[in-house]
């Protein structure tokens, strides 16, 4: 059902409403809502839990939220299972369900907030794993209301990136993942490797450890509203890598690229002392900006701009925002 002046939940706890909104179950519902949005002269936008967006108070948009949370096994073999998941299911629910079903692979991605439908948009990643490596196909409804099924290659997955970032008018209605039917843990991330040194932990143990690490380091949006990392770790040129290395900063080679730590650049620039209104860095992870109560999107953007300028002035590195700002 279409609703005017709809409250839009978000993990920054900014009071936000959309001109119109609706809860949508099927691709057909999405196509119909897009048609209605056109008639109202409003751009259509799909949102999930609002854990990777900065929302202005009044969105001049038709906001759709996918309600389909169904999980269906499409195909299976001795080693793998293809599972189709409705975009409305919470990501963490999928991680828990898959572990209890004996479908493995997602344990490093435990406790990432948000919905399954949003996960391909920035190719969620953590602790040495990325969603994209598990994706078989993504079903979308395009701007014109046509339904397509994109294979993993067509999704153009990269570091916190995908084709969906270039196509904000496409709406993801379900995602098919290929998961392992036998435990195959991923200990590429240094903290996991050293914790489980010499052992072959169960996927449940890896998920539990990742959960504990995240709970220790990151603020819980329920008590300290935030959208996770505010900037991506910058991919830097070889010249910049030499320069930062000489300054004693940590660098992370990945394939033929080198990344710097955005958190360390923010920390070393002295931004942990900054505050705009109620917005400030989370002391244990300065890459996360927290709304300590009554903060606004304008304050947050001003805060992020100050951090970005300071890092650029001090280290000549341009930080790129991770969440998008929606008005
Ligand atoms: C405490 C915390 C920790 C986090 N840790 C991580 C982390 O480790 N790794 C990581 O990658 N991210 C992390 N994030 C970011 C966030 O959890 C993910 O980006 C998540 O996938 C966002 O899901 P959402 O449902 O909240 O999306 P939203 O914030 O509602 O939307 C995000 C974007 O996706 C689009 N979108 C949403 N649903 C759909 C859909 N069905 N179809 C098309 N487009 C859609 C929106 O239009 C928007 O552009 C963290 C966030 C928080 C608050």
Please give the distance, rounded to the nearest whole angstrom, from the Cα atom of residue 206 to the centre of ligand 1: 22
For residue 254, give the CATH number of its domain.
3.90.78.10
Whose C-alpha lies nearest to ligand 1, atom 43?
A: 171
**What is the structure's pLDDT at 88?**
98
Final residue before a domain boundary, out of 33, 66, 99? 66
Separation of alpha carbons 264 and 228, rounded Å: 15
**What is the structure's pLDDT at 257?**
86
The three-class DSSP label of residue 164 is helix
Separation of alpha carbons 58 and 224, rounded Å: 23
Q: Are residues 60 and 94 in the same domain?
A: no
Please give the distance, rounded to the nearest whole angstrom, from the Cα atom of residue 9 to the centre of ligand 1: 13
Mutate which of 113, 220, 288, 297 for ligand 1 pocket (most atoms within 8 A of beta carbon): 113
Separation of alpha carbons 255 and 131, rounded Å: 18
Which stretches of the chain score pLDDT less than 70?
none
Q: Are residues 187 and 243 in the same domain?
A: no
Q: At residue 166, what are phi and psi to the nearest 5 degrees?
A: -85, -15
What pLDDT, in 10s, does the model give residues 215-262? 999 999 999 999 999 999 999 999 999 999 999 999 998 778 899 999
**What is the structure's pLDDT at 288?**
98
State the catalytic residues. 160, 229, 322
Q: Are residues 190 and 264 in the same domain?
A: no
Q: Are residues 194 and 253 in the same domain?
A: no
CB 169 within 8 A of CB 242: no
Whose C-alpha lies nearest to ligand 1, atom 15?
A: 52
**What is the structure's pLDDT at 253?**
87
Q: Are residues 254 and 134 in the same domain?
A: no
**What is the structure's pLDDT at 1?**
83
Please give the distance, rounded to the nearest whole angstrom, from the Cα atom of residue 326 to the centre of ligand 1: 13
The three-class DSSP label of residue 302 is helix
Mutate which of 9, 14, 47, 92 for ligand 1 pocket (most atoms within 8 A of beta carbon): 47
Please give the distance, rounded to the nearest whole angstrom, from the Cα atom of residue 117 to the centre of ligand 1: 9
What residues line ligand 1, using a CB cutoff of 6 Å? 11, 45-53, 66, 87, 112-115, 117-119, 121-122, 124-126, 164, 171-172, 218, 221, 226-228, 324
Dihedral (CA of 38, 39, 44, 48) sign:
negative
**What is the structure's pLDDT at 81?**
98
Separation of alpha carbons 273 and 53, rounded Å: 24
The domain in which residue 172 lies consists of: 71-217
Locate the ligand 1 atom nearest the alpha carbon of residue 323 and give its number: 32
Domain count, the chain: 3
Beta bridge partners of 231: 321
């Amino acid at each position: 059902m279409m609703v005017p002046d709809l409250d839009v939940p978000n993990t920054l706890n900014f009071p936000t409403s959309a001109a119109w909104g609706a809860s949508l179950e099927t691709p057909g519902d999405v196509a119909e809502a897009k048609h209605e949005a056109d008639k109202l002269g409003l751009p259509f936008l799909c949102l999930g839990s609002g854990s990777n967006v900065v929302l202005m108070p009044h969105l001049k948009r038709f906001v759709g939220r996918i309600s389909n949370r169904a999980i269906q096994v499409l195909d299976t073999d001795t080693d793998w299972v293809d599972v189709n998941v409705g975009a409305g299911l919470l990501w963490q629910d999928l991680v828990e369900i898959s572990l209890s079903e004996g479908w493995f692979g997602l344990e490093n991605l435990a406790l990432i907030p948000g919905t399954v439908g949003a996960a391909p948009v920035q190719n969620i990643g953590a602790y040495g794993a990325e969603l994209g490596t598990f994706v078989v196909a993504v079903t979308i409804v395009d701007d014109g209301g046509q339904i397509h099924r994109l294979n993993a290659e067509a999704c153009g997955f990269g570091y916190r990136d995908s084709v969906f970032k270039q196509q904000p008018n496409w709406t993801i209605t379900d995602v098919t993942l290929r998961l392992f039917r036998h435990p195959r843990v991923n200990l590429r991330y240094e903290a996991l490797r050293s914790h489980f040194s010499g052992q072959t932990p169960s996927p449940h143990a890896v998920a539990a450890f990742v959960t504990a690490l995240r709970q220790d380091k990151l603020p819980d949006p329920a008590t300290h509203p935030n959208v996770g990392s505010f900037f991506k770790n910058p991919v830097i040129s070889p010249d910049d890598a030499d320069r930062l290395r000489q300054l004693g900063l940590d660098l992370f080679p990945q394939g033929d690229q080198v990344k710097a730590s955005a958190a360390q650049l923010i920390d070393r620039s002295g931004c942990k002392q900054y505050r705009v209104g109620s917005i400030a860095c989370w002391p244990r992870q300065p890459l996360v900006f927290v709304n300590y109560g009554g903060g606004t999107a304008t304050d947050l953007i001003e805060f992020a701009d100050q951090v970005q300028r300071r890092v650029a002035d001090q280290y000549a590195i341009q930080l790129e925002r991770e969440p998008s700002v929606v008005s």
